[in-house]
Amino acid sequence: MELNVSNRRHRSVIFASALCFQWGCSSDTNSADNNAATPSNAVSGTTVTGTTVTNGGPATTVTGGTTVTSTGSSNGTTTGNGTTGAGPVTGAGPVTGVGGASAGPTTGDTTTTGGGGASAGPTTGDTGSTTTGSVEPVVLAPLVTSAPGAYWTEGTLTEMAGTATVTVNDSQEAQTWDGFGAAFNEKGWAALTSDAMKAEAITLLFSASEGANFAWGRIPIGASDYGNDRYTLADTGNPRDPEPSGETNRPPADPDLATFSLDRDHELLIPYILAAKAEKPDLRFWASPWTPPVWMKTGFKTNSGADSSQNATRPSFYDGGNFNPTYFEAYANYFVKFVEGYKAEGINIEVVSPQNEPGYDQNYPSCLWSGANYATFVADHLGPKMDALGISIMLGSLSNDMTDFTIASTALANATAKGYFSVVGAQWNTLNKGQLDNLNSGLPYWASEHKCGNYPWESGYSQTPPNDQAYAVESWGYIRDAIKTIGVTSYNAWNMVLDSTGLGIDTTRHWAQDSLLVGNGGTVTKTPTYYVFRHFSQYVQPGAKVVGTQGGDALAFKNPDGSIVVVMYNSGQTTNYTVAVGGKSYQFSMPGSGWATVKYEP
């Protein structure tokens, strides 16, 4: 069963009128990314002049100045002028549906008028809003490879008979894909210290033609462990360090939420998110809190998350403690204010999680929940209020495999609470198929947080993030297994951007975490793991079907437009690979210790 949020509830989507934020779009001048929009395809050993894909319609070959009329879901007419498609596109109104190709720009001269486009986002819903922005054709190379020293190299395919290294069986369909995503955190935006860095990072992460084209963004409700410091959206004054008793100086309660404010989010988070949304108007969002306001909790974490036998270095009311059920209703209203406040900014939240890591307290913003409290909160408070707003609820994000499955089981045993859940969110250390299946939830699974790399509890820990090939190979294994073995319908990276230290606000454990991009010294550096995610996320459209493969280390997807995407890893030496797909066989040079994405269009 797959999550299909916009089929379960009606949504409205607001498209930005421009695809570039205030600093403008930038291109990657240091790699082959510049050529992502250059049409290229090859059959029978011959390179075709170009292939134009209009977000959901069939591919149309363009040669020279031929005029092409697309029959795709954009319902527009594309007038080609060479392979870059320099003619106007006239759209046909509101977008309806889920998935489809992304709406990012190409590097050609195509212009767009009106509201046409593919079904690339939430269904136009209760507010009656329609798309007002532009959607341009996106042309992707039929082959791209990555390996140490040569990440993201575009190539061509040669049709050639031979024994297949990887065979795709597109009639063997598994789960429907909801999309790849990643998390917005304050430290990511703060690491981008110039407008040029911000523009480059946003392009690399969200552009359909020049970037990873992420479909989902995760938003923290208040501070995450990668906020710049601790805060919630309803702090009553400046919470002080706890006194030994733990309660005598806890900040006063504010059950009416008179102190609720998004002022802090306007400093970093909201600009970060709006920049991404300007690049990718159909970007979708889910959100989770790391801690409720501290006056909604009792206790705090007194020991070290790194060594429980040691005291916490600097205890905080934000860190740990237990949710106080006295504030069930106030906390549900807190979610309402958050969702409505972000909607007023043009950011439509579709899914909320009641708590990040509900059974895991650490020396960063966190909160413990009992299964009974979690179930009651969802059944009687959060569920009805989110349902009235058309918002779905995630069961999770699960993290502690010793406690979180017990919390989840208790919540699912409450029939009312269970009715409000639309998906189970499991982080890397709870992506266990046996444990997830034993919940008998009947819900799809999301990989809600990718593994962070460079683990301080293991030998060989580095004081700075390695961001190396080894982490990229590790990341490949997690993504592959989550999709192929566990059957997740979405996979979410953790930090998109960090500075060169990789450190969060954990006051006890030094954990220099890896990220997709690194901002340092005025430069944005793409890590090997960034390319692993991009090999999937730029090519695989939401709404795709995961399909069968045989041979090699590979996954395959059949996009809603009929194209088939095959992503492969080769742990050996450079060699020729043959991919059998669609009744044909294509050969290409597969780099050693590297990845390849092949896109086949019938």
Asked if residue 216 lies in contact with residue 258, where contact means CB atoms within 8 angstroms, the answer is no
| Least confident window among 43-57, 274-288, 401-415, 540-554 | 43-57
Asked if residue 374 lies in contact with residue 289, where contact means CB atoms within 8 angstroms, the answer is no
Asked if residue 600 lies in contact with residue 58, where contact means CB atoms within 8 angstroms, the answer is no
Task: Give the number of other Cβ atoms within 10 Å of residue 543's Cβ.
Answer: 25
CA dist., res. 43 & res. 52, Å (int)? 16
Dihedral angle sign, alpha carbons of residues 396, 399, 403, 409: positive
- pLDDT band per the 50, 70, 90 thresholds, residue 162: confident
- pLDDT band per the 50, 70, 90 thresholds, residue 96: very low
Average pLDDT estimate for 312-339: 96
pLDDT digits (tens, 9 = 90+) for 477-523: 999 999 999 999 999 999 999 999 999 999 999 999 999 999 999 99
98: pLDDT strictly greater than 60: no
583: pLDDT strictly greater than 80: yes
Burial (Cβ within 10 Å: 0-12, 13-18, ≥19) of residue 161: exposed
15: pLDDT strictly greater than 90: no
Tokens of 212: 């990873």
pLDDT digits (tens, 9 = 90+) for 17-54: 333 433 434 333 333 443 333 333 333 333 323 333 33
Q: Which residues on adjacent β-strands are paired with residue 600?
A: 564
114: pLDDT strictly greater than 90: no
- pLDDT band per the 50, 70, 90 thresholds, residue 135: low
What's the whole-model pTM score? 0.80
Largest CA distance in the chain: 78
Mean pLDDT for all residues in the chain: 82
DSSP codes joined into one string, 426-472:
EEGGG--HHHHHHT-----EEEEE----S-TTSTT--SS----HHHH
Higher pLDDT, 137 or 337: 337
Asked if residue 177 lies in contact with residue 543, where contact means CB atoms within 8 angstroms, the answer is yes
pLDDT digits (tens, 9 = 90+) for 433-479: 999 999 999 999 999 999 999 999 999 999 999 999 999 999 999 99
- pLDDT band per the 50, 70, 90 thresholds, residue 413: very high
pLDDT > 70 in the chain, percent: 77
Task: Give the number of other Cβ atoms within 10 Å of residue 66's Cβ.
Answer: 13
Question: Which one, of 145, 57, 264, lies nearest residue 595 by Cα?
Answer: 145
Q: Which residues on adjacent β-strands are paired with residue 394?
A: 423
Residue position matching structure tokens 């549906």:
97
359: pLDDT strictly greater than 90: yes
Question: Which one, of 597, 531, 478, lies nearest residue 149 by Cα?
Answer: 531
Q: Which residues on adjacent β-strands are paired with residue 298?
A: 322
Predicted local distance difference test score (pLDDT) of residue 590 = 98
CA dist., res. 441 & res. 449, Å (int)? 20
Predicted local distance difference test score (pLDDT) of residue 111 = 30
Domain architecture of the chain: domains with CATH = 178-539 (3.20.20.80)
Sheet containing 564-570, strands listed edge to edge, beginning at the edge strand earlier in sequence: 153-155, 143-146, 594-600, 564-570, 553-558, 545-550, 166-176, 575-581, 584-590, 158-159
